[in-house]
Amino acid sequence: APCTLGGNIQDIQEKLEEHIMALNQMNAMRYVTPFKSEVTEKTSLLADVQDIIEKWLKVQTLWTNLVSVFTSGDIAKQMPTESKKFKNIDKQWLKIMERANEQKNVI
């Protein structure tokens, strides 16, 4: 079974969006001047995290499709070498995903 990003990813994405909007609002305030570089830096960091999560989810979807292709009996029989290689790579992918899930903080 594929290993995916843990927790309710929608909640995480919503929180990211909320924090990015709050930082953008702060950046528009006239009192932000002494902190402008920090606010801009944090906004950029959260936008990067948001982008990474979106790409990660896309990769997971594509990976799930690949798993179904390479684990079906017909493909495994027709392409035994490729299926074996994919099985090994899939094990590595699962380890990466497990380590990622162990990390509670992204920043």
Q: How far is CA 47 from the centre of its chain?
A: 13
Three-state secondary-structure class, residue 31: helix
Where are the alpha helices (H) located in 1-107, listed in sequence order?
Answer: 9-28, 36-71, 73-78, 80-102
Q: Is the pTM of this model over 0.85?
A: no
Quick: pLDDT tens for 17-45: 999 999 999 999 999 999 999 999 999 99
pLDDT bracket for residue 7 (50, 70, 90) = low
Residue owning tokens 């929608």: 10
Q: What percent of the chain has pLDDT over 70?
A: 92
Residue owning tokens 């099985």: 87
Rounded Cα distance, 51 and 44, in Å: 10
Quick: pLDDT tens for 67-88: 988 888 888 889 989 989 999 9
Q: Are 87 and 39 in contact (CB under 8 A)?
A: no
Query: What is the average pLDDT score of the chain?
Result: 88
| 101 vs 66, residue with greater confidence | 66
| 100 vs 49, residue with greater confidence | 49
pLDDT of residue 75: 83
The amino acid occupying position 7 is G
Fold that domain 9-102 belongs to in CATH = Butyryl-CoA Dehydrogenase, subunit A; domain 3 (1.20.140)
pLDDT of residue 104: 75
pLDDT of residue 76: 83
